[in-house]
A and B are shown apart, each in its own frame.
Chain A
Amino acid sequence: MLTKLFWCFIYFIKYIIVGLIISGIVGAFFPPAGAILGVIMLIGAFGASWKDAGEKMAVIAHNRLVKESEFEIEGFDQALRQTLRSMR
């Protein structure tokens, strides 16, 4: 859970920076529109960063599983090669 919160925070910062830049540019020309856009992007940043963090966690879990099963896969491949050789 802590890892997910960490990644959520990282993605949140990313979305906030992007939001600040876009709403800053829009706000320079149309101040009210820039403020509205900024608020919308701030609200959207929560959901988007939570979703991205979830996807990141799935990738981390998958990589961990592959890493943990590294030797088992090595043994499986070795046994498969031997089985195929003896079946020829």
Chain B
Amino acid sequence: MPIPLIIPILTGLGGLVAGALSRQPEINRLKEQVKVLQSEIGRLQGVIKEQQRQIEEFKIRYNALKASNFIEKKRILGITKGFLYLQYAFKEYVELSIVQARGKDLSGNELRFFNIFNYLMSEQELPVEEKLFVAEYVSYIYKYQIDNLLPLNDDDQAALIHRVETADVN
């Protein structure tokens, strides 16, 4: 009786090992990516600060517009939200890079989001549907912040930077 059990167990273990090995190049690439982020933490901080500055600028422009100018108001509101989607998507991307570099698996939606954003970060053009998925994914997690036009605050930024700095990817 134990012999028939050995075959499926061995097959399962073999599958696990093969799966882990096939992911290894991708994990190594992500480890390198996180190391680059760690070595260029100042630039990462600068990117986030610049995004925040732009969002604040759009918020000022939005508040300065009169209600009668509703078309322009709607446009500026949309653009501000677009900037917020990008900022929170960027935060998620950095965090998911660290998670994956540690060898952990992502859920279906996380992986889809990560792959789409990875494409975008490598300057490849994607259809609108994919960008809408990113917006939908981010607004599901950060609904309150996006609805209230709140960019990443200083604490969130510091926490993200700290997470990158302390990520053990060796």
Contacts and interface: CB of A to CB of B under 8 A. Distances in A.
B153 to A, nearest CB: 18
Contact of B83 (A62, A78, A86): A78
Interface residues of B, number: 29
Interface in A46-88: 62, 65-66, 69-80, 82-84, 86-87
B81 interface: yes
A75 B83 contact: yes
Contacts of A77: 82, 131
Contacts, number: 77
Nearest to B48: A83
Secondary structure of the A contact surface, majority rule: helix
Contacts of A76: 82-83, 85-86, 131, 134-135
Secondary structure of the B contact surface, majority rule: helix
A79 B81 CA distance: 10
Interface in B121-141: 121, 123, 128-129, 131-132, 134-135
Contact of A86 (B50, B79, B129, B131): B50
Interface residues of A, number: 20
A72 B47 contact: no
A44 B19 CA distance: 48
A83 B70 CA distance: 29
A73 B132 CA distance: 8
Given A76-B86, A79-B83, A86-B47, A66 B132 contact: yes
Interface of A: 62, 65-66, 69-80, 82-84, 86-87
Interface of B: 43, 46-47, 50-51, 54, 58, 74-75, 77-83, 85-87, 90, 120-121, 123, 128-129, 131-132, 134-135
6 contacts: A71-B77, A72-B82, A73-B132, A75-B79, A76-B135, A84-B121
Given A76-B131, A79-B51, A86-B43, 15 more contacts: A66-B128, A70-B78, A71-B75, A72-B81, A72-B82, A74-B79, A75-B86, A76-B82, A76-B86, A78-B79, A79-B82, A79-B85, A83-B47, A83-B86, A83-B90
